[in-house]
Structure 1
Amino acid sequence: MSSASPFRRSAPEFPSTSGVQRLQSLAVGSARFAGFWSAVVLPFAMLALVVSGSVAEQAPLFVGLLLANVVALRLGHGHRQE
């Protein structure tokens, strides 16, 4: 007869290092992809505000878009560089 409890687990199983690295690579690649394409699209939204003449009325929005564009540029800088 065995004295092992069915409720007791052995040592916890952690994901393999290659699995963690793969997940990290996927997350970094996705962030770079999103950053790159956001940096491409955001200037068009800012241009629309400038052309419509509503920059003075919606200055916080324009500044927010500008800051988001800077962050997107930094985040997407390494996208598809090999």
Structure 2
Amino acid sequence: MSNASPTKSQSRHRVETTSRRVLGLPVKFIGFWTAVFVPFVLLALIASGAVLQAPQLFAALLGANLVGLVVGRDYKQ
């Protein structure tokens, strides 16, 4: 006879998967939209010449864009 009720490990795995999905969606959302909008800010910094005055800001935004690309790559797929 088979047991119809899930085991504790199956239930725990289901809860972990659901919580990852619920918690991961806002992170992917932020990553996706960061990857979309930051390049426009970078272009504005380059066009205005502010890159020479604030190279750390440019580097931080470039890093944020790269992180956003990686984190948000699977958003809404």
Structures share fold, TM-score greater than 0.5: yes
5 Å matches for 1:21-60?
A: 21-60=17-56
1:54, CA displacement in angstroms?
1.1
5 Å matches for 1:67-82?
A: 67-81=63-77
1:68, CA displacement in angstroms?
0.6
1:59, CA displacement in angstroms?
0.5
Aligned positions, number: 66
Q: Computing the radius of gyration over CA atoms, which structure comes out larger, 1 or 2?
A: 1
Corresponding residue for 1:10? none
Q: CA RMSD in A?
A: 1.3
Moved more, 20-29 or 34-43: 20-29
Paired-residue identity, % = 38
Where in structure 1 are there 5+ consecutive unaligned residues? 1-15
Richer in helix (by share): 2
1:21, CA displacement in angstroms?
3.0
Letter in 2 for 1:64: A
